[in-house]
């Protein structure tokens, strides 16, 4: 039995769909903090349980009888997320889970300029010490993080982004979910760490050029100063510390932390990951 946590999230839901759509679909259990927000059609095809990272008893119950745990990282700040992730690992250990597939993030090192990556540094360390066989998936920056910037660019003709000159190898949710499902189901991945980046290092100028092609009109790029971006995050309701933590991903990008493409995603998928031109074309058609 495979348990997928955060099964109501964008990544978790796609992992579940991938597993259920396979001809050799395994028995799966879907877990979430908010079970009622798991897609009803998916939930009807498997067991759905509460798996709240803040409630150890729910994790203990969810992990019972589980062989493989697809542990999707939570989304709180480090001070909350690190103990949450320890609780997941403890529950898995107590329940005798045989393997954990963990969704980490690119460049999980203590010296990273991206503050929130410390939760992944600590979780990878705790997993290594747990004695449980693990597969670490270091997901690259989601292409979906571009949605707001692209939506604005299609209206204004200017793709304005923080750290506009930074090259980033974006990866798409669909590709990451398919790779995660394969790794969870197939043998031979225990003890492995995969760098799941896209294959194209692109800065805002490169993205604007692709966007111009797919939208059929000129779109230029521009830089958003990091201070302005932090202030914008504040208007969305984040306090100063949370905004600084989130925005620090662009300091890390500017330092080149996400500029190196890896071929692990293509190898796991058995095909190239989505081309960013195709990703932007699909986004452009939905954004209008
Ligand atoms: N690679 C990147 O660029 C990038 C960007 C953003 C995030 N991430 C990481 O990737 C993860 C998955 O991404 P996503 O796109 O699927 O994010 P998402 O759609 O925002 O989903 C986040 C998930 O975390 C769950 N969660 C939050 N707190 C929880 C708790 N206490 N217990 C159990 N579940 C909890 C949420 O459940 P509820 O519905 O109950 O809130 C939701 O299912 C994120 O959680 C984050 O760690 C990566």
pLDDT tens-digit series, residues 38-71? 988 888 889 999 999 999 999 999 999 999 999 9
> With contact defined as beta carbons under 8 Å apart, do 257 and 166 qualify?
no
Domain 2-141+171-199+260-273 has CATH 3.40.1180.10: no
pLDDT tens-digit series, residues 78-96? 999 999 999 999 999 999 9
pLDDT at 198: 97
Average pLDDT over residues 242-256: 97
Average pLDDT over residues 99-105: 98
Cβ(53) – ligand 1 distance below 6 Å = yes
Burial of 237 (0-12, 13-18, 19+ CB in 10 A): exposed
Residue 141 CA: which ligand 1 atom is closest?
3
> With contact defined as beta carbons under 8 Å apart, do 247 and 115 qualify?
no
Cβ(73) – ligand 1 distance below 6 Å = yes
> With contact defined as beta carbons under 8 Å apart, do 95 and 86 qualify?
no
pLDDT tens-digit series, residues 126-147? 999 999 999 999 999 999 999 9
Strand 201-202 to 168-169 pairing: antiparallel
Taking the CA atoms of the chain, what radius of gyration do you get in angstroms? 19
Cβ(33) – ligand 1 distance below 6 Å = yes
Question: How far does residue 74's CA lie from ligand 1's centre (Å)?
Answer: 5
Res. 4: pLDDT tops 70:
yes
Least confident of 37-46, 207-216, 225-234: 37-46
Cβ(137) – ligand 1 distance below 6 Å = no
Average pLDDT over residues 27-44: 91
Q: Which residue's CA is minimally distant from atom 11 of ligand 1? A: 73
The domain segmentation of the chain, as residue ranges, is: 2-141+171-199+260-273
Cβ(177) – ligand 1 distance below 6 Å = no
pLDDT at 169: 98
Cβ(141) – ligand 1 distance below 6 Å = yes
Burial of 281 (0-12, 13-18, 19+ CB in 10 A): middle
Cα separation of 254 and 179, whole Å?
28
Cα separation of 239 and 274, whole Å?
35
Count other Cβ atoms within 10 Å, centred on residue 149.
20
Q: What is the mean pLDDT of the chain?
A: 96
Cα separation of 239 and 231, whole Å?
10
Cβ(273) – ligand 1 distance below 6 Å = no
Cα separation of 125 and 278, whole Å?
37
Cα separation of 71 and 63, whole Å?
11
Question: How far does residue 213's CA lie from ligand 1's centre (Å)?
Answer: 33
Average pLDDT over residues 215-230: 97
pLDDT at 25: 79
pLDDT tens-digit series, residues 5-23? 999 999 999 999 999 998 8
pLDDT at 288: 57
- Which tokens go with 249? 């991903």
Burial of 157 (0-12, 13-18, 19+ CB in 10 A): middle
In the chain, at which residue ranges do the beta strands (DSSP E only) sit? 2-4, 28-32, 47-50, 68-71, 99-105, 133-139, 158-162, 168-169, 193-196, 201-202, 220-224
Cβ(197) – ligand 1 distance below 6 Å = no
Per the listing, tokens 């910037």 go with 149
- Cα angle 80, 10, 73 (rounded to 5 degrees) comes to 30
Query: Could you tell which of 5, 51, 75 is best to mutate to test the pocket of ligand 1, judged by most ligand atoms within 8 Å of the CB?
Result: 75
pLDDT at 286: 83
Angle separating helix axes 118-130 and 78-95, nearest 10 degrees: 20
Q: What confidence tier does 151 reach under pLDDT thresholds 50, 70, 90?
A: very high
Cβ(35) – ligand 1 distance below 6 Å = no
């Amino acid at each position: 039995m495979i348990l997928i946590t955060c099964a109501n999230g964008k990544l978790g839901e796609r992992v579940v769909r991938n597993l259920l759509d396979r001809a050799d679909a395994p028995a799966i259990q879907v877990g979430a903090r908010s079970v009622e927000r798991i897609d009803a059609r998916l939930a009807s095809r498997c067991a759905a349980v509460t798996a709240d990272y803040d409630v150890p008893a729910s994790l203990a119950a969810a992990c019972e009888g589980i062989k493989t745990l697809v542990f999707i990282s939570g989304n709180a700040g480090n001070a909350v997320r690190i103990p949450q992730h320890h609780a997941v690992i403890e529950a898995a250990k107590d329940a005798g889970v045989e393997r954990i597939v963990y969704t980490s993030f690119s460049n999980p090192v203590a010296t990273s300029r991206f503050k929130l990556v410390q939760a992944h540094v600590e979780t990878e360390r705790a997993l290594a010490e747990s004695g449980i066989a693990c597969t670490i998936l270091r997901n690259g920056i989601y292409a979906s993080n571009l949605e707001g910037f692209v939506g604005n660019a299609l209206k204004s003709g200017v793709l304005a982004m923080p750290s506009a000159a930074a090259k980033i190898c974006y990866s798409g949710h669909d590709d990451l979910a398919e790779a995660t499902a394969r790794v969870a189901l197939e043998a031979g991945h225990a003890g492995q760490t995969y760098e799941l980046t896209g294959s194209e290092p692109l800065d805002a100028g490169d993205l604007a050029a692709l966007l111009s092609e797919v939208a059929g009109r000129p779109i230029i790029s521009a830089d958003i100063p990091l201070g302005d971006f932090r202030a914008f995050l504040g208007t969305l309701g984040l306090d100063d510390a949370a905004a600084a933590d989130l925005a620090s991903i662009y300091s890390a990008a500017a330092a080149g932390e996400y500029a190196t493409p890896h071929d692990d995603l293509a190898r796991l998928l058995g095909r190239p990951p989505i081309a960013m031109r195709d990703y932007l074309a699909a986004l452009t058609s939905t954004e209008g």
